[in-house]
Chains A and B, each alone.
Chain A
Amino acid sequence: MAKVLMKGNEAIGEAAIRAGCLNYFAYPITPQSEVAEYLAKRMPEVGGVFLQGESEVAVGYMIFGAAGCGERVMTTSSSPGISLMSEALSYIAAAQCPAVFVNIMRGGPGLGGILPSQGDYFQAVKGGGHGDYHLLVFAPDGVQEAVEMTMNAFTLAEKYRGPVMILGDGMIGQMMEPVEFPDNLKSEPSNKDAWATSGMDKRKSDKRNLVRSLFLDPTELNANNLALKAKYVQMKKEEILYEGYNTDLDYKVLIVSYGTMSRVCKTSIDMMKEEGIEVGLLRPRTLFPFPEEAIFKAATRESCKAVISIEMSMGQMVEDVERCVRGQRKVDFYGECGGDIPTPEKIIEVVKGLL
């Protein structure tokens, strides 16, 4: 299929349809409202469901209900909205239902601002809602990757029977890039007869299904949490994605950066290369599971003297980078999160300061 020029938010909406998701619930919030506007038009064209809920709280449970009865479903929001959906995320994880959540991050905390940010790393990766659960978190660095990750998210949500998050930012949502929708990322929905509340008639079964998160018996609750943990262990084995950039050379500094920020870092690396300074970049493409071993290996390359996490935040992923480096190198941090994205020149200045 030929490439088309699309805005990130619209491309994410189209990606859901192309992946076979015909159910979308959302509440408007800048900078991702174009997803809802796009799907308000597109879903009726393809016989799908579009509904604007009364709040992100309600939308979270519309997603839960639809996922619980076994249908593919997606919502999109931005940081403050994801906070409101985090209650439902905890329930959906506990009840083991597949669903796709997209967070087009804006600045926070509070109302913050509407410009791009990566301030929701902790929220996405460490929880957000209550209890022991994780989301499978993908971090695209542009419109094409956002499309591919969104399409693939439905398959993985079903593989793990749990919520998957696409963690983008306002830049990815708002910018236009050439994009194509790979047919091979469309998948058939999995058979959900074993657990979904799809109606006994439809399943031709006299056994009813329950979708729940309450386990008053401590043994039962522990068993559910162990089942969730087993999934997270499997994700760590099978789903870690990352990209190395300029990492086959003897670099002195390793940058760890993801999403929009990593693209600026690549520009800086190219500019420093012209000056004869080699800098490597390790870009996590999944934030949970996190590329722990890849970062350790890249950081402990003999030529590498320093590691720096560069983020559009006040320092969140850096805590995981430090954990992965296990004290073998000094780990620095640089970040801005008011909505101004650090420039290539600023990154070069920071990196040179480490040499």
Chain B
Amino acid sequence: MGKTFSKPEAMSSNMTHYCPGCTHGIVHRLVAEAIDELGIRGRTVGIAPVGCAVLCYNYFDFDFQEAAHGRAPAMATGIKRVRPDLIVFTYQGDGDLASIGMGEIIHAANRGEKFTTIFINNAIYGMTGGQMAPTTMPGQRATTAPTGRDTELTGMPIRMANLLKELVTPGYITRQAVLNPKQINKAKKAIKKAFEYQVANKCFSFVEVISTCPTNWGLTPLDALKWAEDTLLPYYELGDYKIPE
């Protein structure tokens, strides 16, 4: 019997550094599959964020640039404007995109930059060790919110997909999750669609992915999946928020 399953060409053979139960690896694979299926690996440039995925270029096999914290959408803008033939995507976490990089993502989306953003929302800072993110849930513990997020002091979690959909500029804005196989299949379709909009030079495309961080949530991988289902999904509703005409 021949080979029936292999890694996407757009992925490298390196072992990832991600913690057990982390969903970054799943999302990496979905991105790589979409790039393979669209045959765009040779003209794709990824932008790595600052956060757990800062080294994500070690797990992909195509051109990559590494941004400063939050600045990936500005770098993607610079590349896409001077080389519109390239396929450009940013891969950013919630500290990177929704906190320090809020200005860059809003303006890139509002200019309708023709690149794709994959936004990993796991409601916490991962790499720096579990600090509160703008997406951290009310009462959720973090190392900088030891008794749980106090919304009187820090406001409510930011829902990026909801925020970006309000921009008048057309775009593809969706929120997906990768907590079970069904969701993973849907997320894959959304990621591929996001790249298809870019290939067609249609619009800015944004895929928020509800993810887990068992290590910094202090949960086992399985409990983390359940906690995300029970706590994150009711607040971060899944689905397409905006589709270009």
Contacts of B48 in A (CB 8 A): 212
A59-B74, A62-B74, A69-B86 in contact; A197/B66 too (CB < 8 A)? no
* Cα(A69)–Cα(B81), bound, Å: 11
A65-B63 in contact (CB<8A) = no
A69-B45, A212-B57 in contact; A58/B81 too (CB < 8 A)? no
Task: Verify if B197 is at the interface (C-beta below 8 Å from A).
Answer: no
A68-B75, A201-B43 in contact; A62/B81 too (CB < 8 A)? yes
A208-B63 in contact (CB<8A) = yes
A213-B43 in contact (CB<8A) = no
B64-A197 in contact (CB<8A) = yes
A-B pairs under 8 A by CB, number? 129
Size range of the chain A interface in the assembly: 35 or more
Size range of the chain B interface in the assembly: 20 to 34
A198-B83 in contact (CB<8A) = yes
A49-B104 in contact (CB<8A) = no
A23-B74 in contact (CB<8A) = no
Contacts of A212 in B (CB 8 A): 48, 57, 64-66
* Cα(A220)–Cα(B14), bound, Å: 19
A197-B103 in contact (CB<8A) = no
Task: Verify if B42 is at the interface (C-beta below 8 Å from A).
Answer: yes
Task: Verify if B44 is at the interface (C-beta below 8 Å from A).
Answer: yes
B104-A54 in contact (CB<8A) = yes
B81-A200 in contact (CB<8A) = no
Task: Verify if B175 is at the interface (C-beta below 8 Å from A).
Answer: no
In A107-157, the 8 Å CB interface with B consists of none
A197-B81 in contact (CB<8A) = no
Contacts of A211 in B (CB 8 A): 64-66
User: 16 A-B residue contacts at CB 8 Å?
Assistant: A25-B81, A49-B82, A51-B81, A58-B104, A60-B71, A60-B74, A61-B78, A65-B78, A68-B65, A69-B78, A88-B71, A95-B65, A197-B65, A198-B86, A199-B43, A208-B63
| Extra pairs beyond A61-B68, A214-B54 (12, CB < 8 Å) | A25-B78, A57-B104, A61-B75, A64-B65, A65-B75, A66-B81, A68-B79, A88-B71, A197-B45, A199-B44, A200-B43, A214-B55
B binding-site residues for A, Cβ under 8 Å: 41-45, 47-48, 54-55, 57, 61-68, 71, 74-79, 81-83, 85-86, 103-104, 107
